[in-house]
Structure formats: structure tokens, C-alpha cells
Amino acid sequence: MTSSPILEAIDLARHYRVNRGVLRRPATLRALDGVSFVLSPGRTLAVVGESGSGKSTLARQITLIETPTSGDILFSGRGVDSFDKSEWPELRRSIQMVFQDPYGSLNPRKTVGAILGEPLAINSTLGASARRDAVHEMMAKVGLRPELSGRYPHMFSGGQRQRIAIARALMSNPRIVVADEPVSALDVSVRAQVINLMLDLRDEFHLAYVFISHDLSVVRFIADEVIVLYLGRPVEKAAVETLFETPAHPYTRLLIASTPRADNTARRERVAPHGEIPSPLSPPSGCAFRIRCPFAARVCEDKRPELRPFANREVACHRVEDIAG
Ligand SMILES: Nc1ncnc2c1ncn2[C@@H]1O[C@H](COP(=O)(O)OP(=O)(O)O)[C@@H](O)[C@H]1O
Ligand SMILES: [Mg+2]
């Protein structure tokens, strides 16, 4: 693939001030730190990690909903800070989001036709009948019968509703789609259909995807590259085959080991890695994973491991040479 990058994130961080009651000073919660990546058209970057690892925070930075505490986002090679005020609406339209909950993210008072037609009504000069045609065409593309455009969101199943949410995102003609747990709320039986649809649409529209999920079996199927987050920091970044075939970071290994295989229908519940996730307000010194890590040594207590190249990927682990490869 030689498509030039559409978006680049450089050392992104997002910290929040949180109040801890009148007697204590506000603390800094490092929801995201040191995240860098490149997105290219036709490719999927997956972001994985347990709840609280900073996945949604990352989504809010990429979609320009929030401003990172530090770091840079380049769109088509240009820092988003350098975009003129008049260019921002177009920039925002280029980066669309699909949320986990297709119930909460669609206006219940509007018909599907109105929901999908809205971006065109705002951003295009198309007349009403051309807009209706475009809506019907998009409905067909996401596998919904155009005759249903007069219906309201509650009249559709969860999977159909997620198709509507995807269609709505595409009506803005985006370059990038950030999907935050897009199939996690859906029945297992419809997940594969929605994922396959997303892959088809990615290729048809030459989209770059950021696919956020805690479900590694889905990630293995859809991703080209994966970033594993732990307490806001990347611990491993690799091509999908590399990550699943030879996971290097102890946390990645635990995540993969505890993922039920697709062929093992009897054991569907997820087993979390042993130990609790530490409070993000007072993470352990050195490596934040060390208190759950079977390989932790003195150095892990003293020094935070930086992401560095190891065996065709990047890993943040002092001991990776001893334990992997
Ligand atoms: N607006 C906010 N203010 C304070 N803390 C926040 C805010 N948003 C997220 N956090 C905290 O940041 C961390 C990462 O959250 P989040 O990005 O939602 O993780 P994930 O999506 O991986 O579950 C969590 O500890 C969460 O409580
Ligand atoms: Mg989240």
C-alpha cells in the first residue's frame, strides 16, 4: 500500500484536572500519553485496552471534539492548528465518528430519511429530491431497504440502527471514520455482518478507520495495525499478524491469552488478566503494568519503559528481550 497518510498523530497526550473534594487539591489524570500513529486510506488502525485505558479519550482527540493537552495532529500533512477558521467545518466533516450505542446516538424524533439527509441539507446545495435520492442510495449501500426511510430509529433492530449510524457518518463524505466499540452493544450473531459491512465500505470509499474495541477477536479480523493501551499509554504497536502471532508485551500476551477463540463457543465470557487496574490518579512508579506483570523486576519499578523497536514492532517493556522472541 502506498497511499500517503491522511492523518498523523504525534505524541498525543490528554490530561484532565479532577477535583477530589474540598480538602484535597485537584489532581491530574493522565488519560492519554505518548500516542503516535499514522492513518492511511483503506487501512484500519485498531486501538485496544481494558476499560479506562484511554480509548475514548483518544477518539475525542482524533475527531477534534477535544484539544489535546500536548502533541500534534496533522491532517493531509498539515497541522490542524494551522487550519483557518473557515476551513474547520470541512475538516470536521472529514473525520466522522460512530459510537457504541446506536440507541443513544440517533435522534428518536427524526425519521431515518431526515437523519441521513441532514448532513446534505447543511453542507450541500442539493435540492430536496436529489437529497432523497442520495439518502436512498446510501441506505442501499449499508444494506437497508430505501422504502424504510420514513421509519423512526426505534423501529429498527440494534444491528440495523448501527447501519443507520454508519450511513449517517458516510453522508458527510469523510476521509476518516473513528468507530468507538461499534459492535460491542450488538448481538454476537450480527457483529460479523456489521464488521463485514464496515470493511466493504472502507474499501469502496477508501476510508481510513480507527477501530476502538476491547474485543480482540473482532480486532484480529478487521485491523491492519494495532495499538495496545494500558492506563493511557501505548505498550505495544504492531501489524495485526505480528501482534496476534507473537505478542511481546506481557499485557498484550495476557489480553490475547484471555480472549476466547471464535471456534470455542462454549466459553464466551471474557477472562480479565489477573489483578486490578490501578487508579489512573496514582499509577505505580516506573512501568504502570508491573504490579500485574509476572515478569516484573527492579528496573520496572524505577524507570518508565519507553516505546521502542523490538522484533518488527514497538514495545514499552524493559524486559522484552528476556521474555519474548
Ligand atoms: N472528562 C474527563 N474528566 C476526567 N477524567 C476523564 C474524563 N474523560 C475520561 N476520563 C478518565 O480518563 C481515563 C480514560 O477514560 P476513557 O478514555 O473513557 O477510557 P476507555 O474508553 O478506554 O474506557 C479514565 O480513567 C477516565 O475516568
Ligand atoms: Mg470508551
Tens of pLDDT, residues 131-161 = 999 999 999 999 999 999 999 999 999 999 9
On whether the CB atoms of residues 42 and 293 are closer than 8 A, the answer is no
Which has the closest alpha carbon to 223: 212, 233, 231, 234?
Answer: 212
On whether the CB atoms of residues 3 and 257 are closer than 8 A, the answer is no
* Spacing, Cα 54 to ligand 1 middle (Å): 6
* Spacing, Cα 253 to ligand 1 middle (Å): 24
Instruction: Name the residue of 20, 29, 35 to mutate for ligand 1: max ligand atoms within 8 A of Cβ.
Output: 29
* pLDDT recorded at residue 259: 79
Kindly identify the ligand whose nearest atom is closest to the C-alpha of 233: 1
* pLDDT recorded at residue 324: 80
Q: Tell me the three state secondary structure of residue 35.
A: strand
- Residue 2, pLDDT > 90, answer no
- CA 106/CA 164 separation, integer angstroms: 8
151: left (phi over 0), alpha (psi -120 to 50) or beta: beta
On whether the CB atoms of residues 3 and 41 are closer than 8 A, the answer is yes
* pLDDT recorded at residue 143: 97
Ordered domains of the chain (ranges, CATH): 7-109+152-323 (3.40.50.300)
Q: Which atom of ligand 1 lies nearest, measured to the CA of 32? A: 14
- CA 237/CA 49 separation, integer angstroms: 12
- CA 11/CA 31 separation, integer angstroms: 13
Grid cell digits, residue 181? 466499540
- Residue 263, pLDDT > 70, answer no
pLDDT band at 270 (very low <50, low <70, confident <90, very high): very low
Strand order in the sheet with 7-18: 27-39, 7-18, 70-75, 78-79
Percent of the chain that is helix, strand, coil (3-state, to 5):
35, 20, 40
33: left (phi over 0), alpha (psi -120 to 50) or beta: beta
- CA 31/CA 49 separation, integer angstroms: 13
Residue having the nearest C-alpha atom to atom 24 of ligand 1? 52
CB atoms within 10 A of CB 10: 15
| 161-206 pLDDT tens trace | 999 999 999 999 999 999 999 999 999 989 999 999 999 999 999 9
Residue 68 beta carbon below 6 angstroms from any ligand 1 atom: no
Q: Tell me the three state secondary structure of residue 242.
A: helix
- CA 119/CA 135 separation, integer angstroms: 10
Residue having the nearest C-alpha atom to atom 2 of ligand 1? 16
On whether the CB atoms of residues 316 and 306 are closer than 8 A, the answer is yes
CB atoms within 10 A of CB 67: 11
| 23-81 pLDDT tens trace | 888 899 999 999 999 999 999 999 999 999 999 999 999 999 999 999 999 999 999 99
Residue given cell 423501529 in the structure block? 155
Average pLDDT across the chain, whole number: 92
Residue 231 beta carbon below 6 angstroms from any ligand 1 atom: no
Instruction: Give helix 112-123 / helix 128-141 axis angle, nearest 10°.
Output: 120
| DSSP character string of 59-126 | HHHHTTSS--SEEEEEETTEEGGGS-GGGHHHHHHHEEEE-S-TTTTS-TTS-HHHHHHHHHHHH---
